[in-house]
Copies of this chain bind each other. A is one copy, B any other.
Amino acid sequence: MEKKALKIAVIGGGSSYTPEIVEGFIKKYPEMPIRELWLVDIEQGRHKLEIVGELAKRMVEKAGLPIEVHLTLDRREAIAGADFVTTQMRVGLLEARRRDEHIPISYGVIGQETTGPGGMLKALRTVPVILDICKDIEELAPNAWMLNFTNPAGIVTEAVQKYSKVKTVGLCNSPINFQKFLAKQYGVTEGEVLPEFVGINHLHWVTAAYVHGEDKLEEMINGGKDYSATNVTAFDWDADFLTSLNAIPTYYLRYFYMTNTMFNEMKTSLEKNGTRADVVSRVETELFELYKDVNLSEKPKQLEQRGGAYYSEAAVNLMHSLYTDKKDIQTLNVRNNGILDFLPDDASIEVNCVVTGQGPIPIPPQRVPEGIKGLIHAVKTYESLTIEAAISGDKGIALQAMVHHPLVPDVAVAKPMLEEMLEANRSYLPRFFDGK
């Protein structure tokens, strides 16, 4: 059965990650031929789009593949008839991220891009924009899959699933990183391992780590083998805590399990190095300098230091399995549908799925430690309220979301902090400020 060659639209195509996804498309070309690759960006991103777009063209040319690379500011042109649309964008650019990180710290609260008040404001800015894109997809490419790795990916994916008809899957690089780490630890291939993930995006636990069908979790925990990602400073987990938890928490859980420690580290780092946004800003400037080099026609090694390692590999793998009906197991953000029975059916969760040509089918985790259910539920509560606030522009609902976030300790903190953050994002929040 022959399948037609694909059209792919990358929203936020001017991103510094683009060379990675292009590399992925080139590698998979024999099994997943692409006819057209559309890199889309907005006016403010035109310059970056041009630089990275030219690099993409050089990469394709060097590979000798008949992929047409299009650069455009016209989103609808890119989406029309696409088979896959990926979204990787930052509404408000790094400037907004800077504020998301700064303001909470000044109130004594964790200031982070995807977790806590920072993630909430990012969601409020992003959800309406994503839903606008979805309207275009509904109209111009109703059969397309939208692969979302725009953060906060769990919230954004849930919003699309609730308020649009677009077929969507949310993606994070955290699971694929763990899988690679596990395979490396045991000297086997990625296909020979199967970690089991429980939770929601940026709030998951590894509850089993099968290698050739044998669970190595306890060995990993007790052997002190620790897992570390590059985009969050590494702290060692307390060994007694890990043993009694009997699961490996994702890096982002440090914000919840080590709130004081992380807050202090952040505050110190902020004073010394500026926010993470500042750091990223410097790295990006350097990357784009590299990209400009007309002799460069492959993904530069430095990109791997950028933080989101393997994001694009995850995305390309997913497209590939959807395209070929591969039926392999990937960890994705999908509609709950009773898998975690204490969450609503329409909540997005991050779990292992079998990826068929019809889409991902979530697999129920074999074990959900009792202890973690409350935290998952509390954060999901905050997430759902945040979506409701983003859709309605209702300040009261936003206040409820903020107050019910486990990292926000007091209504007396939440209220002025929310006011300040909404005000600082005024130009990105028309639903909160229009007609007021």
Residues of A at under 8 Å CB distance from B? Answer: 1, 3, 108, 188, 192, 194, 208, 210, 212-215, 237-238, 240-241, 243-245, 257-261, 322, 325, 327-329, 337-339, 341-344, 354, 356-358, 361-364, 366, 370-375, 377-382, 384-385, 395-397, 399-401, 403-404, 406, 409-413, 415
Contact = CB atoms under 8 A, between A and B. Distances in A.
A403 B254 CA distance: 12
Given A1-B188, A258-B411, A344-B370, 4 more contacts: A108-B260, A213-B357, A259-B409, A259-B410
A91 B380 CA distance: 38
Contacts of A3: 212
A190 to B, nearest CB: 12
A379 B373 CA distance: 10
B244 A400 contact: yes
A411 B241 contact: yes
A325 B188 CA distance: 13
A377 B420 CA distance: 30
B241 A403 contact: yes
A94 to B, nearest CB: 29
A371 B354 contact: no
A374 B380 contact: yes
A409 B370 CA distance: 19
Nearest to A365: B361
Contact of A373 (B213, B257, B338, B381): B381
A404 B213 contact: no
Contact of A213 (B258, B358, B378, B415): B358
A340 B243 CA distance: 31
Q: How many copies does the complex hold?
A: 4
A364 B339 contact: yes
Nearest to A322: B213
A359 to B, nearest CB: 9
A357 B214 contact: yes
13 contacts: A194-B327, A210-B358, A212-B357, A215-B358, A241-B400, A241-B415, A244-B396, A259-B410, A338-B338, A354-B354, A371-B385, A372-B381, A378-B378
Contact of A400 (B371, B378, B381, B399): B371
Nearest to A379: B374
A357 B210 contact: yes
Contacts of A356: 194, 210, 213
Given A212-B325, A406-B406, A374 B382 contact: yes
B363 A354 contact: yes
Given A245-B400, A361-B366, A354 B378 contact: no
Contacts of A108: 260
A214 B404 CA distance: 29
Contacts of A241: 399-400, 403, 411, 415
A158 to B, nearest CB: 13
Interface centre among A192, A237, A410 (most CB of B within 10 A): A410
A219 to B, nearest CB: 15
